[in-house]
Amino acid sequence: MTAAQADLQIDRPAVADGAALWRIARDSKALDLNSSYSYLLWCRDFAGTSAVARDERGEPVGFVTGYVRPERPGTLLVWQVAVDDAYRGRGIAGALLDGLVARVVAEHGVTSVETTITPGNIASERLFDAFAARHGAALEREVLFSTSLFPDGPHDPEVLYRIGPLSL
């Protein structure tokens, strides 16, 4: 943990954090924004496979949401990663991702991480490239969902990043 992260606490989200996570996602302008209801449910049902960074007042300033894939129980799917604009550039997203994956490896025995990234999301590409390098893991990319599969208008393709096996 760097000095810039030292004043932050990383732990599991609680239902009461759902609104803050929704606001952070909305304000990121990079994520597909889900309904506020979905963030409340996520904090209730997937808190064990998600993480939140809190400032000195205990307020969420960043988060990672994920779940263990039912069909591939050795794989953590990272759904969203976001950090409040005022806290960006401090390595918080990487610290959240490292902390979450270490916890999920210990609790669920996962050996790989997956996420999807739209082309041109340079910050996310760098985050996951660096994660794979830090953990000595191979990284494979392939289009998971093409543009034509999205029914609600133009959407960039979602590229699947497969990272593993992990060596933590």
Strands 60-69, 72-83: pairing is: antiparallel
What pLDDT, on a 0 to 100 scale, did the predictor assign at position 26?
A: 95
- pLDDT at residue 5, as a whole number: 56
Pull the structure tokens for residue 125.
């590409």
pLDDT on residue 67: 97
Residues 129-162 have pLDDT tens digits of 999 999 999 999 999 999 999 998 788 999 999 9
**Mean pLDDT across the chain:** 93
Mean pLDDT of 1-29: 86
CA dist 107 and 76 (Å) reads 12
What's the pLDDT tens digit per position in 31-62?
A: 888 999 999 999 999 999 999 999 999 999 99
Q: What is the mean pLDDT of residues 87-110?
A: 96
Cα 42 to Cα 3, 82, 124, 138, 167: the distances in Å are: 30, 15, 21, 29, 28
Two tokens at 17?
């954090």
**C-alpha to C-alpha distances, 163 to 17, 64, 136, nearest whole angstrom:** 28, 16, 9
pLDDT above 60 (res 105): yes
Give the mean pLDDT of 66-80.
97
Please count the residues of the chain.
Answer: 168
pTM: 0.92
Tokens representing residue 123 in the block: 């910050």
Q: pLDDT value at position 6?
A: 61
